[in-house]
Amino acid sequence: MNLAEIEDKRVAMIVWNTEKEDDVRVYLGKLENVNGEYAFINEEKGWKVSLENEQLSHLHPVTEDLREMLLNADYALSMSMSSLPETYDTNNYKQTGINWSNNL
């Protein structure tokens, strides 16, 4: 897939919470090349999520039957998340701005 062709298209990031059943969120943004690396950008919320090649390989076009559910995105990327152990060293992580609240 030519990632340059996807830049500035609407991308849905589907995030699955591995710690809570049926806790799935969909966020709309776009794919941007930032200093030679691709990132999912949501300008409204100020999010920038760096994506590695393996994650980018899972990017796929949204089919018409899922388009409305995926916020009218052109492409989608599915990811999972979980909490880090309290003793985990987070110094090598980049802030994304995403704050997962279980109250939604």
User: Within 10 Å of residue 65's Cβ, how many Cβ atoms?
Assistant: 7
Backbone angles phi, psi at 47, to 5 degrees: -95, 140
What is the pTM for the complete model shown?
Answer: 0.81
Paired sense of beta strands 60-61 and 75-81, if any: antiparallel
Q: What is the largest CA-CA distance in the chain?
A: 44
Predicted confidence band at 69 (pLDDT cuts at 50, 70, 90)?
A: very high
pLDDT at 104: 47
Q: What residue spans define the domains of the chain? A: 3-81
What's the average model confidence in pLDDT over 51-57? Answer: 91
Question: Is the Cβ–Cβ distance between 51 and 61 less than 8 Å?
Answer: no
Res 103 pLDDT > 50: no
Predicted confidence band at 40 (pLDDT cuts at 50, 70, 90)?
A: very high
